[in-house]
């Protein structure tokens, strides 16, 4: 009888480990939180980088149009 209880517990634990419901949502939320944190931390550096990229695109497109 004791062995059957242990087998049931082990089977329940194995089922719990195999169940992946809801994990995707939690992972996506954590990724979004990390990305938002990185944007907040590197806000000035990102803004400067984007401005330089757009300036380069603008000057290069002007040379192509000429």
55 pLDDT band, cuts 50/70/90, is very high
Which is more confident, 56 or 14? 56
pLDDT, tens digit, 9 for 90 and up, residues 9-45: 777 777 777 776 666 778 889 999 999 999 999 999 9
Is the residue at 16 inside a domain? no
Predicted TM-score (pTM) of this structure? 0.47
> Cβ contacts of residue 39 below 8 Å, gap of 6+?
46
Q: According to the model, what pLDDT value does residue 60 have?
A: 86
| Measured distance CA(26)–CA(24) in Å, rounded | 6
The range of the structural domain enclosing residue 55 comes to 22-66
Q: How many domains does the chain have?
A: 1
Is the residue at 15 inside a domain? no
Is the residue at 8 inside a domain? no
Which is more confident, 42 or 63? 42
């Amino acid at each position: 009888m004791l062995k059957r209880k242990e087998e049931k517990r082990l089977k329940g634990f194995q089922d719990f480990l195999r169940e992946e419901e809801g994990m995707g949502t939690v992972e996506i939320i954590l990724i979004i939180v990390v990305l938002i944190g990185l944007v907040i931390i590197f806000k000035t550096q990102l803004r400067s980088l984007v401005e330089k990229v757009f300036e380069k695109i603008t000057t290069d497109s002007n040379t192509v149009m000429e």
